[in-house]
Amino acid sequence: MTIDITDDAVTAVVNSSAVGVRGRLWRLHPSNVREIAITASAEILRLESIRVAAVDTLTLNPDEQVLCYRGTGQWLANHTMLQISTGRRIATLGKALRSFPEIEDQFDSGELTFEHAALIVAFCESPPKTMPDAALPYCRDTLLAAASGTEATTVKLRYAISVLEHMFESDDIPPSEDTDRNELRISPTLNGRVSVRGDFDGVTGEMLLSALSSLSMPTPAKDGTPDKRPAATRNADAMAELIRRYLDNAATGIDGGQRPHLNVHINAKDLAYHRECAGTAGATTGDGSTPGPSDSDDLDTLDLGMPDLDKQDLDVGHMPWMGPLSVGRTRMIACDCMLGAVLLDENGAPLDVTPLKRLVTAAQRTPLIARDKGCAFPGCDCVPAWTDAHHIKHWAKGGPTVMDNLVLLCRTHHTLMHRKPGFTGQWEIQVGADHLPWFIPPPGIDPDQKPRRSTTRI
Q: What sign does the dihedral 40-44-46-47 (CA atoms) show?
A: positive
**What does the pLDDT read at residue 329?**
66
**What does the pLDDT read at residue 193?**
83
Most confident by average pLDDT, 33-47, 142-156, 246-260, 375-389: 33-47
Q: CA nearest 394: which of 417, 413, 373?
A: 417
**What does the pLDDT read at residue 224?**
81
3-state secondary structure of 151: coil
**What does the pLDDT read at residue 227?**
87
C-alpha–C-alpha distance, residues 247 and 242, integer Å: 9
> Could you tell me if 316 and 266 are in contact, meaning their C-beta atoms sit under 8 angstroms apart?
yes
Instruction: Report, as an integer, the average pLDDT of 230-237.
Output: 91
Q: Which helix (H) or strand (E) holds 388?
A: strand 387-391
Higher-confidence residue of 181 and 337: namely 181
**What does the pLDDT read at residue 171?**
66
**What does the pLDDT read at residue 389?**
87
**What does the pLDDT read at residue 336?**
54
**What does the pLDDT read at residue 413?**
83
C-alpha–C-alpha distance, residues 149 and 400, integer Å: 37
pLDDT at 364 over 50: yes
Give 405's DSSP letter: G
C-alpha–C-alpha distance, residues 255 and 211, integer Å: 8
> Could you tell me if 439 and 294 are in contact, meaning their C-beta atoms sit under 8 angstroms apart?
no
- Between vectors from CA 457 to CA 128 and to CA 346, what angle results, nearest 5°? 95
**What does the pLDDT read at residue 298?**
46
Instruction: Report, as an integer, the average pLDDT of 321-349.
Output: 62
Each residue's pLDDT tens digit, 388-436: 888 888 776 778 888 888 999 888 888 777 665 555 457 888 888 888 8
Each residue's pLDDT tens digit, 126-162: 888 888 889 999 999 999 999 988 888 888 888 888 8
Per DSSP, the residues of 434-456 read TS-EEEE--TTT-TT---EE-TT
> Confidence class of residue 101 from pLDDT cuts 50, 70 and 90?
very high
Q: What sign does the dihedral 300-305-306-307 (CA atoms) show?
A: positive
Instruction: Report, as an integer, the average pLDDT of 265-286.
Output: 50
> Percent of the chain, pLDDT > 70?
71
Range with lowest mean pLDDT among 27-36, 102-111, 255-264: 255-264
The dihedral over CA atoms of 327, 333, 337, 339, expressed in degrees to the nearest 10, equals -10
